[in-house]
């Protein structure tokens, strides 16, 4: 049976009753749905949302904005850096971690920027603390991937992601971050608790989404 490429709904409950033989279309629908589940590549996901104060104090505008995530109050300053560690529990068959980052950047004025960027790195957990780096990571840079503010003092809301294209990790390892790609989990660390470190310069993070990726044999 060919693997379906689109979503396959389960059969209607009205078409299946206890004690009654199911046949025809309901059987075909269940078979296609099971085939889809068996071939799924994203088995687990984690969604981290980062809160920021929405308080503003300026001429004619003092108080809390509706929502930092929606309206984008409070842009990051020049050279400002934020660092977050997000815990991720891998499976024994995990091989890569796909990541999506939702962010707001700073001014479009080149003189007001050092160069907005978002660095993603993968660490092992040792004794309950962040341990050895196991993937040098990848970086999103401006203007290649990072978008910035369009007008006013508010920051826009944008998304970037590593994609899910599988990356062949070099046998000698990496010495520096690469262009955006899924982070690689070495065989010795699969099934362990890991940490994704996200370092954002001149970028305000709003959310980070992690997706477990594997290659079916």
Domain count, the chain: 2
Query: What are 95's two structure tokens?
Result: 């091989």
Give the CATH number for residue 116: 2.60.120
Q: Helix, strand or coil for residue 189? A: helix
pTM exceeding 0.85: no
> Residue 11: is its pLDDT beyond 50?
yes
Residues 24 and 89 in one domain: no
Residues 46 and 126 in one domain: yes
Residues 69 and 129 in one domain: yes
147 vs 140: CA distance, rounded Å: 10
Residues 144 and 105 in one domain: yes
Of the pLDDT bands very low, low, confident and very high (cuts 50, 70, 90), residue 70 is very low
**HSE-up of residue 178 (Cα within 13 Å, Cβ side):** 17
The reported pLDDT for the residue numbered 140 is 95
Residues 6 and 57 in one domain: no
> Residue 123: is its pLDDT beyond 90?
yes
What mean pLDDT do residues 116-144 have?
92
Mean pLDDT for all residues in the chain: 77
User: What's the burial of 6, exposed, middle or buried (CB within 10 Å: 0-12/13-18/19+)?
Assistant: exposed
What count of other Cβ atoms lies within 10 Å of the Cβ of residue 62?
A: 9
> Residue 153: is its pLDDT beyond 70?
no
The reported pLDDT for the residue numbered 17 is 62
Residues 16 and 85 in one domain: no
Residues 92 and 115 in one domain: yes
Q: Which residues make beta-bridge pairs with 193?
A: 89
Domain around 14: 1-40
What mean pLDDT do residues 46-59 have?
74
The reported pLDDT for the residue numbered 208 is 95
């Amino acid at each position: 049976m060919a693997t379906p490429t689109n979503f396959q709904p389960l059969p209607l409950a009205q078409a299946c009753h206890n004690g009654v033989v199911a046949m025809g279309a309901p059987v075909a629908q269940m078979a296609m749905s099971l085939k889809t589940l068996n071939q799924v590549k994203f088995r687990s996901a984690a969604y981290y949302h980062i809160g920021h104060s929405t308080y503003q104090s300026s001429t004619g505008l003092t108080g809390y904005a509706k929502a930092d995530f929606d309206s984008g109050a409070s842009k990051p300053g020049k050279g400002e850096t934020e660092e977050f560690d997000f815990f991720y529990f891998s499976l024994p068959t995990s091989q890569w971690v796909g990541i999506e980052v939702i962010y707001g950047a700073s001014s479009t004025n080149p003189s007001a920027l050092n160069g907005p960027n978002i660095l993603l790195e993968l660490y092992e957990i040792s004794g309950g603390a962040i341990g050895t780096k196991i993937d040098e990571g990848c970086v999103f840079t401006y203007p290649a991937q990072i978008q910035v503010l369009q007008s006013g003092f508010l920051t826009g809301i944008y998304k970037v992601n590593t994609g899910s294209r599988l990356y062949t990790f070099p046998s000698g390892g990496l010495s520096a971050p690469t262009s955006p790609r899924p982070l690689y989990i070495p065989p010795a660390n699969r099934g362990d608790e890991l940490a994704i470190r996200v370092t954002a310069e001149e970028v305000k993070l709003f959310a980070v989404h992690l997706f477990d990726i594997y290659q079916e044999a």
